[in-house]
């Protein structure tokens, strides 16, 4: 009952400052993500420049004609556009089984071009056009040089016989909306740390001390209330993009897990800093947590620099990026486990600190 009463008090305080909360934690990051997404979308790739594609080739046919195609891709004529580099490939070309038989019999054939990462749209489209022309010339040669006769055989133009199959990639708005989660989380952590040292929070502590509850009970009540508060803020940001159809449009259950995971990270980190550091050092550490995603530039670019791995928000950002790509986080369970263990470890340390303090058994 005391837990529900305390949580209700915290949430009522949140409602009383609803305008500031929405503007500061939801509207500002949403507008910033939208602006940065538009900016990056317009500058994402220079239409006058073709970037060199690093490709891997999967030959499932292993025939003379598939080997001829591979030799063509490895030729000096193609070196300005592509580089065969399976280890660092950003494009994958798949030659299907039965490729030679289909070409010889002038039947439909599908060569898949799979993009393994974002960007390279102009270069990929150019490669598709070259492959179409390559097969067009090959098919015309096999049909005796008559394009009309060839179209009568296939029923369609040759250029449609080579299919591009692009894997799901995130657009700029999806990348920036998930990356800005780092900004929202770091702002919440910093805000909660600062509020704990504020006079209002100290007044609440004094009021609680006059009630027959222990310091550790108060710690649990406050943790639960802050967990609900943080989950609401993160949900507001995430569901704005989801309901508008811009981002976070995958399965709802994994998305809820990521929101709760974000709230866990926010609360555990803010509690850890508050309980282990005094007001002066606590504010410095809180400022550092807030600054790291900005210094790492991941929050504003979606990519960032080497310093981004120092920010604890880096790993939750990766999970939201994976969710935008696949609609779930199944391919990145390792980071999910890391965040859970980190949150539990920080919360456990803060919990032990409170339990061992002089006020651990009774609020003074």
Q: Which residue has the higher pLDDT, 364 or 323?
A: 323
Looking at the predicted structure, is the pLDDT value of residue 153 above 50?
no
- DSSP letter at 118 equals S
110 touches 163 (CB < 8 A): yes
Looking at the predicted structure, is the pLDDT value of residue 49 above 60?
no
- DSSP letter at 112 equals E
Instruction: Render pLDDT for 118-147 as a digit per residue (tens, 0 to 9).
Output: 667 777 778 888 887 787 777 777 766 555
Can you give the residue ranges of every domain in the chain?
Answer: 2-40+171-356, 53-161
Q: Which range among 60-64, 74-78, 158-162 shows the weakest confidence by mean pLDDT?
A: 158-162
Angle between helix 181-196 and 313-326 (nearest 10): 140
Give 53's strand partners.
82
Q: Which percentage of the chain shows pLDDT scores above 90? A: 10
Res. 77 pLDDT band, cuts 50 70 90:
confident
CB atoms inside a 10 Å sphere around CB 100: 19
Res. 26 pLDDT band, cuts 50 70 90:
low
Most confident of 41-55, 179-193, 206-220: 179-193
Exposure of 236 in the CB half-sphere (CA atoms within 13 A) = 19
pTM above 0.95, yes or no: no
pLDDT for 149: 52
Q: Which strands form 91-95's sheet, in the order they lie side by side?
A: 82-84, 53-59, 91-95, 112-115
Distance CA(290)–CA(313), nearest Å, equals 10
- Token readout for 171 is 């657009």
- Token readout for 211 is 């009630």
Distance CA(123)–CA(251), nearest Å, equals 32
pLDDT for 158: 42
- Token readout for 307 is 């310093």
Q: Which helix (H) or strand (E) holds 9?
A: helix 2-16
Instruction: Render pLDDT for 188-208 as a digit per residue (tens, 0 to 9).
Output: 888 888 877 665 555 555 555
pLDDT for 74: 86
Looking at the predicted structure, is the pLDDT value of residue 268 above 60?
yes
Q: Which residue has the higher pLDDT, 355 or 170?
A: 355
Q: Which percentage of the chain shows pLDDT scores above 70? A: 66
Res. 82 pLDDT band, cuts 50 70 90:
confident
Instruction: Render pLDDT for 95-108 as a digit per residue (tens, 0 to 9).
Output: 888 888 887 777 76
Q: What is the mean pLDDT of residues 151-168?
A: 48
Distance CA(267)–CA(344), nearest Å, equals 10
- Token readout for 66 is 């598939």
235 touches 182 (CB < 8 A): no
Distance CA(172)–CA(178), nearest Å, equals 10
pLDDT for 47: 45
């Amino acid at each position: 009952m005391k837990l529900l009463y305390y949580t209700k008090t915290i949430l009522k305080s949140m409602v009383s400052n609803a305008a500031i909360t929405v503007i500061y934690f939801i509207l500002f990051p949403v507008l910033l993500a939208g602006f940065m997404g538009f900016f990056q979308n317009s500058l994402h790739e220079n239409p006058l420049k073709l970037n060199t594609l690093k490709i891997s080739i999967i030959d499932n046919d292993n025939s003379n004609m598939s080997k001829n195609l591979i030799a063509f891709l490895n030729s000096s004529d193609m070196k300005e556009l592509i580089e065969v580099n399976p280890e660092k490939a950003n494009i994958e070309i798949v030659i299907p089984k039965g490729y030679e038989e289909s070409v010889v019999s002038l039947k439909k054939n599908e060569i898949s071009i799979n993009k393994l990462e974002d960007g390279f749209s102009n270069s990929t489209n150019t490669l598709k056009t070259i492959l179409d022309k390559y097969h067009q010339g090959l098919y015309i040669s096999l049909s005796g040089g008559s394009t009309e006769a060839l179209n009568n055989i296939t029923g369609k133009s040759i250029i449609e016989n080579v299919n591009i199959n692009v894997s799901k990639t995130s657009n700029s708005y999806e990348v920036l909306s998930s990356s800005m989660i780092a900004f929202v989380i770091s702002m919440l952590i910093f805000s909660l740390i600062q509020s704990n040292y504020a006079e209002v929070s100290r007044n609440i502590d004094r009021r609680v001390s006059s009630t027959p509850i222990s310091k550790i009970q108060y710690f649990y009540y406050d943790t639960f209330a802050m967990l609900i508060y943080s989950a609401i803020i993160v949900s507001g940001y995430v569901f704005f993009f989801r309901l508008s159809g811009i981002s976070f449009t995958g399965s709802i259950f994994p998305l809820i897990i990521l929101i709760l995971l974000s709230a866990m990270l926010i609360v555990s980190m803010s509690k850890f800093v508050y309980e282990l550091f005094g007001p002066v050092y606590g504010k410095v550490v809180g400022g550092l947590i807030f600054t790291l995603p900005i210094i790492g530039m991941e929050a504003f670019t979606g990519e960032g620099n080497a310093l981004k791995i120092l920010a604890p928000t880096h790993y939750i950002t990766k999970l939201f990026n994976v969710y935008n790509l696949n609609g779930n986080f199944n391919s990145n369970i390792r980071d999910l486990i890391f965040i859970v263990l980190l949150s539990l470890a920080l919360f456990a340390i803060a919990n032990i600190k409170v339990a061992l303090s002089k006020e651990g058994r009774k609020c003074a």
